[in-house]
Every structure is written in structure tokens, then in C-alpha cells.
Structure 1
Amino acid sequence: MYIPKHFKVTDFDEIQGFIQENSFGTLVTTKQGTPIATHLPLALHKQGDEFYINGHMAYGNPQWRTFGVENENVLVIFQGPHAYISSSWYKDENVPTWNYQAVHVYGTASIMSEQELEEDLRLLLKKYEHHRENAVVWENLSSQTKKQIKGIVGFKIKVQEIQAANKLSQNRNEEDYHNIVTKLYEEKGINSEQMAKVMNEKLKKDK
């Protein structure tokens, strides 16, 4: 991913937090030179000294059969808020642009054992169900429901490289930056509001 120096993120704790909050990612592999992509809930875990992206997909999805076949590397993309930035919001004339947050993770994928998959599903349910009144947890599922695990394939991707970008108008002066945040809130679209919040949080963090 091309990342100008103004927008490059190197703080691993920040990247981990971003993936945790934006965990519905895109897994990209190739089959006979053609890219294949699947959109999936994913999670970043540490095992010993290594980090892994864990997930699962339907057994009928042919993408899992590409793991380790044509090439060793796979790509996982996580995306956060994004919004159009009008150059009319700048003090001086310039061109419009687009603000965004994105993380690219490169690594090698392998298939989980059934035991590993069960543990991963247990953690996934805990993450997304713990705050719910009638939480769905693995331990309480019927044996009949648990048998549906046969219809999915678990996988883990050993992380080899991470590239992260926060393009949040860091290259603009303070006056432009504040005006961009104000104008984004005035847009009233969900993407614009989310980007304004991210830019506000960055401003507070940098002070």
C-alpha cells in the first residue's frame, strides 16, 4: 500500500486497536492469477512470539483451497472511516481529496484443526455477545447446533508484514484542519461524521 510519510502509522498498539474496532476485513488470495476476495469477521491474536489473523469461511467457498497453493502470501484489508474532503474548506486554493484509515496485513495462511476452530468460535462469540442480555455462548449451544461447525473451515494467517495508513489531513495547517472537522460534521452523513470524530480524537491525542 502506498503511504506518504505524513500518514504512515507505526505504533503497533494503535494498529491492534484499529483492527479490534474494525474487524470485518477483506481476505484476498489468487487462483490461477485471478484475485479472489471474501469479506469476513477476523481477529488478531498473539501466540507465543507470533501474531495471527484468525477467521473462518463456508466450506463451500473455494477460496480456502487457494491457501498455500499458488503462492504463500495472502492479504487482509481492514478499513475504517472514510470521507470526501472538499478543497473549498481550505483557506488557500488546492485540490479535493479523500481521508481514510486502512490496514493491510500480509502473511501465510493455514487451515485450523477442529479444536482450534472451536476455540476461535468461542472467543468470537465472547467478543460480540458478552454485553447482550441473552448472550449466545459456545458452551450453551446444543450439540445439534455445534454440528454446523462441519460447514465451515477455520484458518489462521501468520502475520509477516503490516502496513497502516491514517490519512487525516495531517499535512494541512491548524486552521484548515479545524475547518475540515467542522465541515465534516455539517455534512451530516455517517461517513463524514465518523471521520470528523476520528480527526477530533487525533487532535486531542496530539495535544
Structure 2
Amino acid sequence: MFRQKKYLKKDPQYVFDFIDQHPFASFVLQGEDLLATHIPVLIEGTPEKFRLYGHIAEANEQYKFLKDGLDALLIFHGAHGYVSSSWYKDINISTWDYSAVHVNVKLKLQSQQELEESLQKLIGRFEKEQKCPIFYKDLPREMIDDHLPLITGFWCEPVKVQAIVKLHQGFDKDDVNSVSEHLEARQDPLSSTLSKNIKKEHGTGY
């Protein structure tokens, strides 16, 4: 990943929290050509030592290439958006603010028991926020047995972790405030979150 020094994030806690808060990842591996799938990937462990896990359908083109020790790349995306040069007090170059974490990993295929435990955690993570949650244990066993053979789970052991946070570091306060205000004026969730991230990065709000 291309990263200028001022945009680097090396804090393990930041990386761990970022992945936890942005679990919908791009899963990239080398097959007959480069293949990518967008899947939920969860993290467990500690900021200093963690592993990730996910699964794909066996109908997915990536499936036939899955094996223990395979190299893969997981890309986790944060809020992002276009920043117009017209937002600065002096003319400047338009840009794009964003944050992302790349994790190069080695894959290890899960057993069926590990897959089921992973699915319980995955469903539990997102279902608990629902008004009338239906957890893994609530699903009919026949339905589970019909679907399990159609998916394959895997562990992802980190090999290299890179994080970038490009949020107008190095710009003066007036320009940073102007960028935040213009993003908020768009009144869409992505721009609003990006504005909050900029304020947090510059210590001007949360």
C-alpha cells in the first residue's frame, strides 16, 4: 500500500479497533488471475496478537484455490470522500480523504466445528442489535445441515499489517474546519462519518 509518512498509523490498538469497526472486507487472492470477494471478516485476540476469520460459498470462484498456507490480502475500508479545492482559503489541489487497513495473511482452513463456532460468533455479533434477534442456535438444525456443506471457513493469520489515515494532516486549522463543514453539508452518512473522523484526527471533536 502506498503511504506517505504523515498518514501512517502504527498503533496496534488503532488497527485492532478499525478492523473490529469495519468488518466488511475485500478478500483478495491469486487464482488463475487476481480474485476478490466482499465478505464479513471478524477479528479476535488482542491488538498485539490477533487472527481473523471468515468464510465463502463453495460456488465462489475463489473456493477452488483455498488451501492451508495460501497467501491472501484483506482490505478493510473506512469512510472516504472527495474534497474540492474550492473548499480551501487559497487555491490548492483537490483530493480524496480516506482510511484503510491492509492485512496480508496466511490461510488455514477451518474444521466443520470451527466453522460452526465462527458462524455463531458472526451471527451473534450482528443479530444482537435486532429488535427480535434470531441467533445461530435458533435456526432449524435441518437448515444448518443443508447450508454448511455449501460454505468453507478459514482462519487468517496476519503476516503484514499496514494502516493509512489520510485526513488532511499538515493543513492549517481553517482549511481543516472548512473541509469538515463542507462534508457535513452534503448530509449523507458517509460524508458525515468522514467529517467526524477528520475532527477526531485533529482533536477538534468526536
In the TM superposition, what is the alpha-carbon distance from 1:50 to its structure 2 partner?
A: 4.4
Structure 2: state its 5+ residue gaps.
none
Question: Partners of 1:72 and 1:157 in 2: how far apart?
Answer: 10
Matched residue, 2:10? 10
In the TM superposition, what is the alpha-carbon distance from 1:132 to its structure 2 partner?
A: 2.0
Matched residue, 1:127? 125
- Superposition CA RMSD, Å: 2.1
**SS at structure 2 position matched to 1:28:** strand
Question: Partners of 2:17 and 2:108 in 1: how far apart?
Answer: 24
Task: Choose which of 82, 103, 108 in structure 1 pairs with 2:101.
Answer: 103
| Sequence identity percentage | 29
Contact residue 50 and residue 158 of structure 1 kept, 8 A: no
Matched residue, 1:145? 143
Matched residue, 2:153? 154
Matched residue, 1:67? 66
**SS at structure 1 position matched to 2:35:** strand
Using the TM superposition, name which of 60-69 and 138-147 deviates more. 60-69
Matched residue, 2:113? 115
Question: Partners of 1:58 and 1:105 in 2: how far apart?
Answer: 22
In the TM superposition, what is the alpha-carbon distance from 1:149 to its structure 2 partner?
A: 1.3
Q: Deviation above 4 Å: which 4+ runs of structure 1?
A: none
TM-score (norm 1): 0.91
Using the TM superposition, name which of 127-136 and 165-174 deviates more. 127-136
How do 1:12-31 and structure 2 match up within 5 A?
Answer: 12-31=12-31
**SS at structure 2 position matched to 1:184:** helix
Letter in 1 for 2:116: E
Residue deviations 1:105-163 (CA, integer Å, cap 9, x gap): 00111211001001100111110011323211122221112111111110111111110
**SS at structure 1 position matched to 2:191:** helix
Structure 1: state its 5+ residue gaps.
none
Question: Partners of 1:9 and 1:197 in 2: how far apart?
Answer: 18
Count of equivalent residues? 204
How do 1:30-69 and structure 2 match up within 5 A?
Answer: 30-32=30-32, 34-46=33-45, 50-68=49-67
Question: Partners of 1:155 and 1:81 in 2: how far apart?
Answer: 27
